[in-house]
Structure 1
């Protein structure tokens, strides 16, 4: 299994705890959400003791969940479930530091633009799509918290990553979809934003979508492992099975519980978007 550099500690921690992702029912901005809708996070202490700045937590934001590394100031994995799209809440226009992290859990030092900070060509890229949270005003606000944001090559964010988000956005109207994803860090030479924001730059983004065929009731899955680089024009070269994804990232961190046959699925092409899909 090829675990990416920088994830070793998190993977060992998650594996040692027998980590499993539990999906909740199916991004953030300018105002604090209501206090009664933010659950207390589950905190996983480091193996050698509860060092406040050396831990991974599982944080529940209502519409989605993050596995978050308090030391490296990044989400490692996210998951959520989407039903039929009937949401119309507008995406916030600004980003915000996360006020819900427990005491002693570090995060990025600013919500300012990456491109304006030091190195152009990078967006504040969402892990959990804001558009997927537009059915709840609190959830879409939280999706703009910087805990859900990482440095993402701008053309990647606005092309292939958007294409992958749209697969979930369209297929949710056919049957509920389960969405998993995360980032991989493996190369320190492009960590432009450590000084300005306190976060590294991911080398890869991954996403997996599980749903059912309404005609047969059979489960089906699709997944991608995509480099965070310029010039990508199509999703298909980056298709992987969930089995392959687990070997690349680590079974515990991917966190998908599914039958072996589903984990082995690897479509020849990315699922075509259904006619008439509403992307908003």
Structure 2
């Protein structure tokens, strides 16, 4: 995937949004909602062609979403993981999100994408449910449809899982900050607008920031991956955080880090440590 092509697609997305998204602080996953009403930071409608878009920052305790109430999709997520000692079971079903503020739109159903109209798509998690297994409420919230988008099934169960496992394994070495999101740029594959009220993302991105235990220095890795079949390896989709910001937009990426960390681009994806427990 050429960076120039991805940049052009991202610019079309941002032009369509017509807005600059302002953030509440991103990061930690220790706060609890306490109730199912949720807490949202609401920002004014932006100026420009998409001035009716309503974008909020929604806190789910274990993770945070930047969510577009108008187009019914999360745009960005972030959370922090410590050592994996969680055993909470993943829910067996998906549900609509009861915590959104009044008037904030979401998908119209929690039913399967593949069964609805077009085979080959999963209800794909943005925030991995496995990463939330340290708290029964958090893992339940990860199955809200606000955290779900149409994801090519082989992508979801292959290369995206590989990226999730990098965070899953490196959290046991040092705390990791995880960021990610989606890019929409092509209406030709929007199979689920009529059935669910959501478009199909063209790209998924993920960034991980952690600490090198041998040096104490911060280090980062990031990927920008097309939502298509047939992908077998993460390495072709490695980017720096700087490149991500050019592709997606600095404020939407939402990562605060030193210049040197944002410029990091490993030659290969981080190898999974021996003995990593993926559950």
The reply to whether TM is greater than 0.5 is yes
For 1:158 and 1:106, how far apart are their aligned partners in 2? 28
Q: Distance in 1 between matches of 2:38 and 2:113?
A: 30
Aligned residues: 270
1: CA distance, partners of 2:212 / 2:149 = 33
Q: 1:25 — aligned with what? A: 29
CA distance in 2, matches of 1:258, 1:221: 9
Corresponding position: 1:259 with 2:258: yes
Supply the RMSD in Å over aligned alpha carbons.
2.0
Deviating beyond 6 angstroms after TM superposition, the runs of 4 or more aligned structure 1 residues are none
The answer (yes or no) to whether the contact 2:24–2:57 under 8 Å persists in 1 is no
2:168 corresponds in structure 1 to 169
**Counterpart for residue 224 of structure 1:** 223
Q: For the structure 1 residues 105 and 264, does the alpha-carbon distance in structure 2 shift closer, same or farther, using more than 3 Å as the test? A: same
* Residue pair 1:66, 1:79 contacting (<8 A) in 2 also: yes
Contact 2:38 2:99 in 1 (8 A): no
Corresponding residue for residue 30 of structure 1: none
1:214-273 Cα distance to aligned partner (Å, 9 max, x none): 111011000000000000000000000000000000001000000000000000000000
Contact 2:159 2:233 in 1 (8 A): yes
2: CA distance between counterparts of 1:187 and 1:137?
37
Distance of 1:11 and 1:89 partners within structure 2: 40
User: Alignment partner for residue 7 of structure 1, among 1, 7, 14?
Assistant: 14
Aligned-pair distance for 1:8? 3.0
Q: CA deviation at 1:86?
A: 0.1
SS of corresponding position for 1:278: coil
In the alignment, the residues of structure 1 paired with residue 267 and residue 205 of structure 2 have an alpha-carbon distance, to the nearest angstrom, of 17
1:61-80 residue pairs with structure 2 within 5 A? 61-80=60-79
Change in Cα spacing, 1:34 to 1:242, as seen in structure 2 (3 Å) is closer
Contact 2:114–2:121 (Cα < 8 Å) also in 1: yes
List runs of 5+ in structure 1 lacking aligned partners.
27-32
Could you tell me the TM-score, scaled by structure 2's length? 0.92
Distance 2:16 2:186 in 1: 16
Measure the CA separation in 2 of the matches of 1:118 and 1:101.
Answer: 27
After alignment, is 94-103 or 39-48 more displaced?
39-48
1:34-113 matches, cutoff 5 A? 35-36=34-35, 39-47=38-46, 54-113=53-112
Q: In the superposition, relative to structure 1, how do residues 89 and 52 fare at CA in structure 2: closer, same or farther (>3 Å)?
A: farther
Match of 2:182 in 1: 183
Matched, 1:250 2:216: no
Name the CA distance, whole Å, in 2 between partners of 1:38 and 1:215: 43
8 A Cα contact 1:179 1:208, kept in partner: yes
Structure 2 gaps, min length 5: 1-6
1:273 maps to what in 2? 272
Q: 2:177 & 2:79 partners in 1: Cα distance?
A: 6
Q: Which residue of 2 aligns with 1:212?
A: 211
Matched residue, 2:3: none
Q: Report the equivalent of 2:140.
A: 141
CA 1:145 to 1:86, structure 2 compared with 1: closer, same or farther past 3 Å?
Answer: same
